[in-house]
Structure 1
Amino acid sequence: MTDPKPHGLARNAANYGDREFALYLRRSFAASMGYSRAMLEKPVVGIADTASDYNNCHRSVPELKEAVKRGVLAAGALPLAFPTVSLCEPSLTPTSMHYRNLMALDTEAMLTAQPMDAAVLIGGCDKTVPAQLMAAASADRPSVMLVTGPMLAQRFEGERLAACTDCRRYWARYRAGDVSAERIGEIEGKLATTSGTCGVMGTASTMACLAAALGFMPLMAASAPAVHSDRLRFAEEAGALAVRLITHPVKPSQLITEKSVENALRVLLALGGSTNALVHLAAIAGRVGLRIDLKRLDALSEETPVLVDLKPTGEGYMEDFHAAGGMVALLRELRDLLHLDCIDITGRTLAEQIEAGTPFVDRGIIRARSAPVSPVGGLVSLFGSLAPDGAILKRSAATPALFETEARCVVFDGLEDLANRIDAEDLDVTPQDIMILKNVGPLTPAGMPEAGYLPIPKKLARQGVKDMVRMSDCRMSGTAFGTIVLHIAPEAAAGGPLGLVETGDRVRLSVRERRLDLLVEEAELARRRAAWTPPATPKRGWDKLVHEQVLQAPEGADLAFLRPEGH
């Protein structure tokens, strides 16, 4: 007889007009892999395997997968791993962001089409964790998040190095002529020396912390280094937790709520975390019909201090954050600002999780509220005639002296224009100008790359210029720093005002007033608008689908048809 409540391999049986035959056929083929009938009758935990020879951040996934299987087997279920798309930022063109939604679509399909009662999602590199959480939210399959963990910093000639804030620091010095070609080549081999994601509070580590804040993993599992034995113990625990979810289900729709998303925003601000995380969190929330209000983010930023002293905002590395008490210590310090009744995958409240954690904290890395890294949050949102739907600035990694700037702008029409002219000796640019890059948003073939960190023109870098105001409709790496306005919406390719900006126009940035304005007469803008033409539509494949369906940055740059009906 057919199980009235199918579990394990009996779930999602193919329908040939005879469901019992479909299950019979499935078991017979599964038996060819050497499983006993007793194992095939157990509940199933699917394990999303994102190992790839192209993904250095996921080098440890095979070992993690085996540890997850141990945990699943010990808890009495059958672990079945399956491959999905894997995304590594340096290995993809035009950018990994262009394929985040493809990975989410792939993972969602596999979570829903294959027989499994719960899942463990193994991710790490920037776009993999949000893609997996988006997929889990849409499939609403009980899921445990397991991240690969950050790399260790390398001690080299009197300093510590880790990707990728130190990469950018040294590259800026190289462009300025302060570091030789021989030296930059030597440093290249010292920046990433272990498995794992970037060793600073970049996008990968920020997303790991936000996944824990949302309840998808134990709090300390967000920060354990990739090569630490704790990471394997967390992997084994993830397997056991997934089995627990079969009998005590907590679905993603119960974890991703208005309150938990606000908690995640508080954590993002207190971490001085990546600007990319805001786009990803908006996409994750959007999968359950929630929207992040950038003006609410701004209000939270005014009352949430930066407490974590890590690069690029501070000086430490992720291994220091873990040793300092990690997410437990940070959330304890933020306790009165959080919704403590939110639950995690175990069903425990956030208050219970904090209480159960270690009381230790290293104040050199995780500051007290009375002595913060910054008294206000790391991010601010901006609105105005240049950004009607909003833009973002990471003030914790910016130069305060540039927060109130009105200046002439120097405009680059896209990545090719930027590459061709940025280092030209005859480029008409001064340190007081605002550099603007347009036509690099989610609608463009560029795929919203991490190009917002426009390099300082070489002729200015050689003069000692370290920072300038820079603006774009794309993103920047979470490991980057500088006075950089990002995610301007609507983007230029969508017909936003950014597409009308020309070199010589004046633009005003006011962090104090949260304004971003284009100071050009409306009649002139109307003339330019009449002459503007939208970009060509790609002819086929994923590029065409993205162009037709992608949303703007405030909606997480998700695909419209993947959002819940009515949203």
Structure 2
Amino acid sequence: MDNTTVLNPEFADLYIDEAYNPFRVCIQGLANEPITVRALLHRADDLLLDEAGFAGLGDYSLDAIVQRLAANRPRVAIIQGSPDHPAHMFDHEHTLRAAARIWQNGGVPFTFGIPVICDGTAQSNIGQSYSLASRNHTAMAVNINFEGHSYHAAYVLSGCDKTPTGILSGLASADRARRQPERGTAPVWAIFVPAHVLKGGTIPKRTRQKLQAIQDAAAAAGDRQLSDDIEENCHYILQCSSDEAFLGLLARAEEKGLLSQPEVEQILNELAAATCDDKGGICAFNGTGNSSRTLVAALGFVPAESELLTDEATSDIVRHNVDQLFRMFNKPEYSVCNLLEKNYANAIRIHGATGSSSNLMLHMPCVMRHAGFDVSLFDYARVRDSHAVPDIFAHSLTEGRDTFVLAQQAAAGLHHGMTSLFKALTDLGVPMDLDAPTVAGLTWGQRVAAIAVAVSPKLSQERSVIRITPIRAISGTDVMRGNFFSSCTLKVAGMSTESYERFNGRVFLVRYYENEIDCNHEMRATDFIERLAAMPALTPALLAALRRFNGAPEDQSVIDMITAGTLAFAFVIAGQGPKAFGMPELFAPSQNLRHHGVVEKTSTMITDGRYSGVTKGACVGHMVPEAYEGGGIGALIDGDLLWMQLSERRIDLLDSAAFLLGEVRVCDAAPLAERAELIAQRRARIEHRQLQVAACSMMDNVTDAEFGVVPLAVHRRATLAWPAKS
């Protein structure tokens, strides 16, 4: 035992119950680490000295720190992100507040930071080839530091994009390794505190006037579509995502001669300067950042009070969070792997009900495999298919229901965040596991029982993001199958009901691109529709067959067919998979599709890469096998026909010769042998393109998307059945 003073009497006698203490067995850590703790506490003391309610730190001399380490007091790592990311701008202050409370509770605080890549900053450049790799690197870095310095628990300043699931994966891997009897160590405990929500920007008045002038000029020049597309994008809150759409729209306007390149750049600069609030945070759209916020909360790792902050966490909130973490110590039921095991089915259903990012279809199995569970994409599908989950999340960037508004509604006491989602789904008969534990020390059932209603009657359903009456029956992300691939994903939550019904059963004509640069270039062209109409594959016989199948008049022109949607396209971008090019998000081409009023209503995009969580429309991703691995997507060519049966969750390559004769016949498989030479040429170009990515960040030794694109060592260790067999 140590004789240091513990300022919070609740934890005065708290020691971690385990057989092995590396700070007692090996003197070197006991000699090296205390100075880092004292420096951290000294900075915390300076920050909080004059803050009301601060009770001081007492004795934090090197002798006191050594005594606590030798006695096996809780060693807690505060994991923060790099301040070059908007979600982590103020992690330093949060870290010091947490460190102070850990010491007051009798623990020993440490901190380390990790690099955090901003997916927005990395869009449309080589940075996206590092984005998914960063998740695996984060898991490894967190695991190495956590295990190397023998921490008991983590207080995680949870940020954006891949970071939360990367950190959770690293902690889960440590927890699983510590279960080996030879280690003699306690499990791992963790609490996640998501960064506050970043308030969306507003287009400056002078900039809006410039955009209106472009709209007027486009209409006068006969391009009403461009005018309408700019108008539609102006209705969105100003975010990096809407800025990207303006980039494509203004490129079309410049090509048409409506403004010069310097004028385009000036407008884009004005938009950029007005986008992000000075407080930072996670962007207000329901992309991967907020989807990750939702995920860690659904998995039970987030204290309710910290789930939806609109500003930096106060000292009161931080103290509450740290106290909750300390109450879990020596209780294996609250360990990282146990929370994951018990809450994973809940997280799948919450993911579907909230229409969260399809990126999580990679990250969820990744986390579970790091925890040792043999989980794949098909476990997600199994849970999803076992009971329909309705859409109860009316998130909108144009109607005043973005994530910042969701957080404001929570702060006003109009709903209870994740607990309200659990209650709403339970009331609708969705089989949520209410016995699953959470870091609040309560089961979901206890949390749900503590609230009378999911959403306060003071908040009208029209204004509420969380709905107690389902918006519609379809939701979430579907796992699709087909005759030229093993699996892919389609975020049906990103499609309107009308689009879903229109696309179901439709035959699409393939327009093939070897990379997103080529796709972006063509989609941003003012003569994009004319280019599509001039495709050599559009023979008179094929056009006649498409007219018959889609019910178009025999004399309908190709342009009119495209405009009316009787000629629909599948824009295929291959060679983007994890092993080929790091599996980048194809946000820019998806935005160009989304904000092109003609093809957006009729066409789909298909890739072996990923999409941003904010992507809307019929965007199919994560296709396995990827083109680089010999997948059928890499054998497609302009003019191939794809039959999309959404209700059957299938996309199939059709026999073109049979289709010309009026028969819808599915091919046996992709024409890999017939197009072997073409496939070889494409692979050679992929390998040349790979040289743009630094060798140290190539993802060679990873699984495919069905298993979360995890390192092969992690994949091999994931042998535990989930759910556990009774």
- TM-score, reference length from structure 1: 0.87
Following TM superposition, by how much is the alpha carbon of 1:491 offset from its aligned partner in structure 2, in angstroms? 1.2
Question: Is the 1:48–1:84 contact (alpha carbons within 8 Å) kept by the matching residues of 2?
Answer: no
Listed as ranges, the matches of 1:1-400 within 5 Å are: 11-13=21-23, 19=25, 21-22=27-28, 25-26=31-32, 33=39, 35-42=61-68, 43-92=73-122, 93=127, 94-140=129-175, 141-155=188-202, 161-168=237-244, 170-171=246-247, 173-175=249-251, 177=253, 181=264, 182-193=266-277, 194-225=279-310, 227=311, 233-249=316-332, 250-257=334-341, 259-288=342-371, 289-292=373-376, 293=378, 294-296=380-382, 298-299=384-385, 303-311=388-396, 316-322=401-407, 323=409, 324-325=414-415, 326-335=417-426, 336-337=429-430, 338-357=432-451, 359=453, 360-361=455-456, 362=459, 363=461, 364-369=463-468, 371-398=469-496, 399-400=499-500
The letter for the 2-side match of 1:186 is E
Residues 22/542 of structure 1: CA separation in 2 closer, same or farther (3 Å cut): farther
Question: Is the 1:87–1:100 contact (alpha carbons within 8 Å) kept by the matching residues of 2?
Answer: no
> What whole-Å deviation, never above 9, does each CA across 1:486-513 have from its counterpart, x for those lacking one?
1111111111111111111111112112
Compare CA radii of gyration and give the structure with the larger one: 2
Question: Is the 1:70–1:239 contact (alpha carbons within 8 Å) kept by the matching residues of 2?
Answer: no
Task: Tell me what 2:223 maps to.
Answer: none
> What whole-Å deviation, never above 9, does each CA across 1:391-422 have from its counterpart, x for those lacking one?
33334435332343212110001234335544
Following TM superposition, by how much is the alpha carbon of 1:112 offset from its aligned partner in structure 2, in angstroms? 1.0
> What whole-Å deviation, never above 9, does each CA across 1:238-264 have from its counterpart, x for those lacking one?
32223223344521111111x511110
Residues 31/341 of structure 1: CA separation in 2 closer, same or farther (3 Å cut): closer
> What whole-Å deviation, never above 9, does each CA across 1:350-372 have from its counterpart, x for those lacking one?
11122335745333324544x32
> What whole-Å deviation, never above 9, does each CA across 1:537-563 have from its counterpart, x for those lacking one?
979997467433111112111112123
> What whole-Å deviation, never above 9, does each CA across 1:100-130 have from its counterpart, x for those lacking one?
1001100011111113221112221111001
Task: Tell me what 2:613 maps to.
Answer: 478
Please tell me the root mean square deviation across aligned C-alpha atoms, in Å.
3.5
> What whole-Å deviation, never above 9, does each CA across 1:151-185 have from its counterpart, x for those lacking one?
12345569772534543554454455499735444
The letter for the 2-side match of 1:270 is A
Residues 455/31 of structure 1: CA separation in 2 closer, same or farther (3 Å cut): closer
Q: Any idea what SS the aligned residue of 1:146 has?
A: strand
The letter for the 2-side match of 1:341 is D
Question: Is the 1:69–1:236 contact (alpha carbons within 8 Å) kept by the matching residues of 2?
Answer: no
Do structure 1's residue 555 and structure 2's residue 707 form an aligned pair?
yes
Following TM superposition, by how much is the alpha carbon of 1:379 offset from its aligned partner in structure 2, in angstroms? 1.8
In structure 1, C-alpha distance between the alignment counterparts of 2:692 and 2:236, rounded to whole Å: 46
Number of residue pairs matched by the alignment: 553
In structure 1, C-alpha distance between the alignment counterparts of 2:625 and 2:599, rounded to whole Å: 34
- TM-score, reference length from structure 2: 0.69
More helix by share: 2
In structure 2, C-alpha distance between the alignment counterparts of 1:82 and 1:523, rounded to whole Å: 49
The letter for the 2-side match of 1:433 is F
2:516 aligned to which of 404, 410, 415:
415
Residues 27/284 of structure 1: CA separation in 2 closer, same or farther (3 Å cut): closer
Moved more, 403-412 or 555-564: 555-564
In structure 1, C-alpha distance between the alignment counterparts of 2:475 and 2:610, rounded to whole Å: 19
Question: Is the 2:86–2:280 contact (alpha carbons within 8 Å) kept by the matching residues of 1?
Answer: yes
Structure 2, unmatched stretches of 5+, are: 3-14, 40-59, 176-187, 206-234, 534-561, 563-567, 656-666, 720-726
Residues 139/436 of structure 1: CA separation in 2 closer, same or farther (3 Å cut): same
In structure 2, C-alpha distance between the alignment counterparts of 1:433 and 1:392, rounded to whole Å: 16
Do structure 1's residue 509 and structure 2's residue 607 form an aligned pair?
no
In structure 2, C-alpha distance between the alignment counterparts of 1:51 and 1:78, rounded to whole Å: 20
Paired-residue identity, %: 18
Following TM superposition, by how much is the alpha carbon of 1:316 offset from its aligned partner in structure 2, in angstroms? 1.0
Following TM superposition, by how much is the alpha carbon of 1:61 offset from its aligned partner in structure 2, in angstroms? 1.2
Question: Is the 2:591–2:615 contact (alpha carbons within 8 Å) kept by the matching residues of 1?
Answer: no
Residues 23/99 of structure 1: CA separation in 2 closer, same or farther (3 Å cut): closer
